[in-house]
Amino acid sequence: MSRTACNGLVLGAALLALAACAEKPQPVAGSRVYYVDTQGAASVCNAPKALTLTTGQQTEATMAVKNDGGWCGISVVRSGRPFDAGLLVVRPQNGRVHVHTVGDATRIDYTPDAGFAGQDVFAVRMLPGNPALRVAVTVEPGAVVAPPAAPVAPAAKPAAKAAPTRKAPAKKK
């Protein structure tokens, strides 16, 4: 074997050994958040950004949201993974709750009913492990949004003159 080939093998083996010793990058929790998951949020949303729930225990949280048609969300995790399901055990009286996976977490979104301002509350039980989250919500009044204007009908066209009718020729006897 030539000296150049031998040097190449030694260099290759050394690089392979160094690569094996290199630190592997660790996955980052919450790294898979898509653009669509960030759209439609309320302009004001004061809530915990991420909570770790304890198995079998209820956690209390507060949320303040401006009622401008957007949602306000709280992310919850279990060991860096999303929950399998969320059961709404106390329904809000003046809004909607949506439980869904966003990235590596489960997000619980609250959207107040249009025109509502005041206090609301809801509770969600997560699966597996049965941890619960009870959220006391304060809804601030938002801008009054006018309903869209009714479409304007196009102007009526003047009636066209009727074409003259022809009389059928009389039959000869």
Find out whether 26 and 51 touch, Cβ atoms under 8 Å.
no
- How would you classify the pairing of strands 58-66 and 132-140? parallel
In this predicted structure, what is the pLDDT of residue 142? 85
On the question of pLDDT at 29 being above 60, the answer is: no
Q: Provide CB contacts within 8 A for 42, sequence distance 6+.
A: 65, 66, 67, 68, 69, 70, 71, 72, 142
How large is the C-alpha radius of gyration of the chain?
Answer: 33
On the question of pLDDT at 22 being above 50, the answer is: no
* Mean of all residue pLDDT scores within the chain: 81
The CATH label, of 3.40.50.300, 3.40.50.2300, 1.20.140.10, 2.60.40.2020, for the domain at 40-140 is 2.60.40.2020
Domain layout of the chain by residue ranges: 40-140
Task: Give the pair of three-digit tokens for residue 61.
Answer: 């949280």
Q: Model pTM greater than 0.85?
A: no
Q: Provide CB contacts within 8 A for 48, sequence distance 6+.
A: 61, 74
Alpha carbons 34 and 172: distance in angstroms, whole number: 85
